[in-house]
A and B are shown apart, each in its own frame.
Chain A
Amino acid sequence: MSDAAVYNFAYLDEQTKRMIRRALLKAVAIPGYQVPFASREMPMPYGWGTGGVQVTAAVLGADDTLKVIDQGADDTTNAVSIRKFFERTAGVATTTHTSDATVIQTRHRIPETPLREGQILVYQVPIPEPLRFLEPRETETRRQHALEDYGLMHVKLYEDIARHGHIATTYAYPVKVDGRYLMDPSPTPKFDNPKMDMCPALQLFGAGREKRIYALPPYTRVVSLDFEDHPFEPTKFDRGCALCGAEGIYLDEVVTDDCGGRMFVCSDTDFCESRRTPPRAAAPGLNEVPR
């Protein structure tokens, strides 16, 4: 008996998917606004991407091609598990190639290969509320969103500068969406913030534990908060990838031995591999399910 016969397509029942799609439609209609949704228990612990998985399940169609990354990598436990989950429950094609994917679920990175129209990027979000660290009352933060009362976010950036001499927030760097809502871009490095701005792909954010969904429709203005005299600056690296030599991309530090040896390589494994094996053939993805 095949797994697909046991599970409904993409694991969730159709009514749940409809519920999530309604939340998604509202989220797309109000860019950056956190829409509450009835998050389900998933067969994985919170913190492993339950929000992202539910969103992916709700948007996935039989002819989609799914890519799953974790900190830019296709081959970590988390990424492999989620990819396998959808291979078994939805039977969809999977890939590691950014350009071949129609749906990409991500934990904390945006691929280096520019996204295009028609693609959907699904973020796993641990804490959707950017104001929480200074204002723990949810009643108050929701009111602040309603009134576009966001001075507090700048207080956090002020504190950063006062303490470190510059804005030391390097991930989950707050953004203003379409000139209206303040949004936590999930713990993506601020290096990726500029990629969110006017992105041709649809970006969806799912927070499972917190039961919130929010979205950036294609070509939405996303502005990173800053001060006039301390403007936003994406992280810059003073070197290239030790493997493929690419520059101007996000690097991971890899410890190579226990004598202090280390190297800096592309965080986006697909990007790095495709540069090292040109020209890219139209080969099937590493984990593509044979049909």
Chain B
Amino acid sequence: MSALDDRPLLVAEGLTKHYGQHIGCADVSLDIHEGEVVAVVGESGSGKSTLLGLLSTQLLPSAGSVRYLMRDGEERELLSLSEAERRFLLRTDWGFVHQDARLGLRMGVSAGGNVGERLMAVGWRHYGRIRAEAEHWLDRVEIARSRIDDRPDTFSGGMRQRLQIAKNMVTRPRLIFMDEPTGGLDVSVQARLLDLIRGFVSDYGLAAVIVTHDLAVARLLSHRIVVMRHGRVIETGLTDQVLDDPREPYTQLLVASILQA
């Protein structure tokens, strides 16, 4: 591994977000390397979604910084990017999978149009090629090609999540943010989605930040885990180490609370 390759993809330092008096997230520092999956766990209100918003530049921090290694090898402070650069990054090198598919998809646009949107946004102007690429990604996420002209409001919850993933993957992002991607899905549907995400992570060397309150999801998908409580990171480390040998009282409580099937 060369020194260049070893630079982290994303470096967050001292990220803090106040909502008035309330602390959303306090002094969080985090590195993410290429191909690395980091799970952010904690109860609702622990600040994990705020952290995701800050890392992905959807929220402005009260303090702290996020640096990102662009595709050209240059490291950029994300807050200094112009809006156009930021948007370009968000729709090419990054992906975002929401728990609520309606935030990530255009429900009134066909599956093919949803998948093709990023391509058209970066200048693809050949209908046949856009459609072929959309078909390819529908295949990859196991949605029948015959559904390409159907709107996502006719899709099941699991299909919508898979469509969101296809929509993001089409520009081969290097980093994908996921906010409770399996939330509200049936267990069997969850398994299929998790398997798909695992496959993409290993096939494309995708880095990911996954916010979840489900420790089983964290164990299955992530290399590293960040445990949050009251807006702060209270424990972090190798996923199996934190889950099998939790140190902090709160982490021990979380691990002890997992239902055994």
Contacts and interface: CB of A to CB of B under 8 A. Distances in A.
B22 interface: no
Given A158-B127, A227-B127, A151 B122 contact: yes
Given A134-B106, A159-B113, A162-B149, A154 B125 contact: yes
Contact of A149 (B84, B113, B130): B84
A263 B223 CA distance: 73
A152 B87 CA distance: 14
B59 interface: no
Contacts of A228: 125-127
B113 A162 contact: yes
A29 interface: no
Interface in A225-244: 226-230
Contacts of B84: 147-149
A229 B127 contact: yes
B128 interface: yes
Given A155-B120, A227-B125, A227-B126, A147 B83 contact: yes
Interface string A199-219: 000000000000000000000
Contacts of B148: 162
A163 interface: yes
Given A147-B84, A147-B87, A230-B127, A158 B113 contact: yes
A12 interface: no
Nearest to B123: A151
Contact of B121 (A146, A152, A162, A163): A152
B109 A159 contact: yes
B157 interface: no
Given A158-B127, A227-B126, A228-B125, A151 B113 contact: no
A155 B117 contact: yes
B24 interface: no
Interface in B48-107: 83-84, 87, 106
B87 A149 contact: yes
A229 B128 contact: yes
B109 A155 contact: yes
A: contact size bracket:
20 to 34
B112 A158 contact: yes
Contacts of B128: 229
B224 interface: no
B149 A151 contact: no
Nearest to A166: B127
Given A134-B106, A159-B110, A143 B83 contact: yes
Contacts of B110: 159, 162-163
B146 to A, nearest CB: 13
A161 interface: yes
A138 to B, nearest CB: 17
B171 to A, nearest CB: 11
B47 interface: no
B160 interface: no
Contacts of A152: 117, 120-121
B118 A151 contact: yes
Contacts of B112: 158, 162
A229 B126 contact: yes
Given A149-B87, A151-B117, A158 B130 contact: yes
Nearest to B119: A151
B116 interface: yes
A228 B87 CA distance: 25
A147 B121 CA distance: 12
Contacts of B130: 158, 227
B121 A149 contact: yes
Contacts of B131: 162
B113 A155 contact: yes
Contacts of B127: 158, 161, 227-230
Contacts of B125: 154, 226-228
A226 B121 CA distance: 14
Interface string B110-145: 101100111011100111101100000000000000
Interface string B7-39: 000000000000000000000000000000000
A230 B84 CA distance: 28
A158 B121 contact: no
B188 to A, nearest CB: 31
A134 B121 CA distance: 14
A218 B183 CA distance: 56
Contacts of B113: 155, 158-159, 162
15 contacts: A148-B84, A149-B84, A151-B117, A151-B120, A151-B122, A155-B109, A158-B116, A158-B120, A162-B113, A162-B131, A227-B125, A227-B127, A228-B125, A228-B126, A230-B127
Given A155-B120, A226-B125, 18 more contacts: A134-B109, A149-B84, A149-B121, A152-B117, A152-B120, A152-B121, A154-B120, A154-B125, A155-B117, A158-B113, A158-B116, A158-B120, A161-B127, A162-B112, A162-B131, A162-B148, A227-B130, A228-B125
Closest 10 CB pairs of A and B: A151-B121, A154-B120, A227-B127, A151-B120, A228-B126, A147-B84, A162-B149, A155-B113, A159-B113, A229-B128
